Amino acid sequence: MGKESRVDIRVAIQDVTKFAGDALVVNLFEGTAPAGRRGRTATRTLGGATAAVDAALRGAIGRLIAAGELTGKRGELTLVHTHGMLPADRVLVLGLGKPEECTPDRVRTASADAVRRLRKIGARRVGTIVHGAGAGGLPPAQAAQALAEGAVLGAYRFLVYKPEEKERLAAPTLTILDRDPARRRPLTDGVRRGLIVAEATNRARDLVNEPGNVLTPTELARRARAQCRSAGVACEVLGPPALRRLKAGGLLGVARGSQEPPCLILLRHRGGRRGGPHLGLVGKGITFDSGGISIKPAEHMEAMKGDMAGAAAVLAAVCAIARLGIPLTVTGVIPAAENLPGGSALKPGDILRAMSGTTIEVINTDAEGRLILADALHLAGRRGATHLVDVATLTGACVVALGTLYSGAFGNHREFLERVLTAGREAGERLWPMPTDADYDELITSEVAEIKNTGGRKGGAITAAKFLQHFVGETPWVHLDIAGTAMADKESGVQARGGTGVMVRTLVTLAWSLAGG
């Protein structure tokens, strides 16, 4: 992760009005009246740190409120110059909306918006209060974690190949200010968690944003080893000879058209007690997807470098789980390959035998992700996983169904599916449950093999999930289709353009949940 993406964050027990720097960030809730006044629509008067800053500014914030230029509505950003009345050069007032609707995700988004705005004006030394930990009612640690996540995610830019922009877009140094010494520990703990999770998300973004000529399956494995080494995660990479011994017919079949050898990347965090839950995380690692013989249209094919976003999320999440010391055993399985046309490429009508022994008729070579996931899910089960989650940019059908705001969630176990959905809500990543009725199975029944790799256009995201379900047995399993959410075409909230790192935060939150934390 480049330095331009990193935000240094510290906690200081200090009067907010004494902070000296380029900018000071405070907040305002909707329906707040200036100090000493109460209008008809106001439900509260200016208080706390924002009132102290207003007093130091001789009522400048209050006058903006009275004039209707400052309302506290969600997403509002108002910059006030201090003209020497405070040691900080400027004050940025964030609108947080109604206090009863204050959530960690709202704090996360506001923090990201603040960092972007302050970077545009060249602010480097920034002080901030803990948004949401006062009138918003959030526990200080939770509010600090959300603030740190938002700042780091909002500052992200992929500038590896644009070095001239790195210095101009350098991220600020952020100091969280609080007057209560008793809150130093929870704030510091929250910041640490937020930094680990957000920096992991940005590492996933880096991988998704790399071009396919750089991030081959071999290079993905090399970077996985490096990240695991620094996080204390065991990493094993299986090449073609080992894959042949495992009879990984799905992965080997997909890779046939490319000169780049496939590999299977195995991760292990040994943090749980014997006999406790064992989380298996599987991530689709197609480092470039042309569609194979069933080639995709040329338009927007460059985005297919991101077809390994599930792999990036799993790698980043397992490393973050280890860094956080979550007491849970986690196995990550990442099948990596390119899907290209070539003289030896997989053809429509071919029959493969997966690692489980299941025979698969290939109808469309562009439905390759489920072929490599079939082997990976089976292996994760063999490695002892008691709960399985796979993350994959699997189907355009899921984008048609849900657009780019929600990832699809499919499962075979209602309680575990609900646990994953809850983790997504807590992490601020939107998931929508999709059906997996047994009646859909007939759409992927083959006349010449046990199963076929696509069921046609109708319910395409569902039949893809049903295909994967054949390889998990009775193990509680959730499939997350991130085809619509893995990449973004514009900045919005915590999202940057390009790779989003989606599902890293959800998987880490899920691990905490399974560990009982």
The pLDDT tens digits of the residues spanning 255-279 come to 999 999 999 999 999 988 888 999 9
The residue among 401, 430, 433, 421 whose CA lies nearest residue 493 is 430
Question: Does 66 have pLDDT greater than 60?
Answer: yes
Residue range 341-390, pLDDT digits in tens:
999 999 999 999 999 999 999 999 999 999 999 999 999 999 999 999 99
- Taking a C-beta distance cutoff of 8 angstroms, is the pair 133, 109 a contact? no
Whole-number pLDDT of residue 163: 79
| Catalytic residue of the set 74, 166, 296, 497 | 296
What CA–CA distance (Å, rounded) separates 168 from 162? 11
What CA–CA distance (Å, rounded) separates 362 from 174? 53
What CA–CA distance (Å, rounded) separates 176 from 238? 45
Is residue 490 annotated as part of the catalytic site, yes or no? no
Percentage of residues in the chain having pLDDT higher than 90: 91
Question: Does 424 have pLDDT greater than 80?
Answer: yes
Whole-number pLDDT of residue 517: 73
67-81 average pLDDT score = 95
If one counts every other C-beta atom within 10 angstroms of the C-beta of residue 380, the result is 28
Supply the angle between the helices 414-427 and 504-514 in degrees, to the nearest 10: 120
Cα four-point dihedral sign 456, 459, 464, 470: negative
User: Could you tell me the pLDDT band of residue 3, with boundaries at 50, 70 and 90?
Assistant: very low
Question: Does 117 have pLDDT greater than 50?
Answer: yes
* Average pLDDT over all residues of the chain: 95
**For residue 250, what are the CA distances in angstroms to 132, 294, 355, 440?**
49, 17, 7, 22
The residue among 182, 187, 185, 181 whose CA lies nearest residue 140 is 187
Is residue 203 annotated as part of the catalytic site, yes or no? no
The residue among 124, 155, 147, 116 whose CA lies nearest residue 27 is 147
What CA–CA distance (Å, rounded) separates 16 from 97? 22
Contacts of 264 (CB under 8 A, 6+ apart): 237, 238, 242, 243, 246, 248, 251, 333, 334, 335, 336, 375, 376, 379
* Domains identified in the chain and CATH numbers: 3-181 (3.40.220.10), 200-514 (3.40.630.10)
What CA–CA distance (Å, rounded) separates 263 from 237? 7
| Catalytic residue of the set 192, 203, 305, 370 | 370
Residue range 160-196, pLDDT digits in tens:
998 777 656 667 899 999 999 999 999 999 999 999 9
What CA–CA distance (Å, rounded) separates 50 from 26? 6
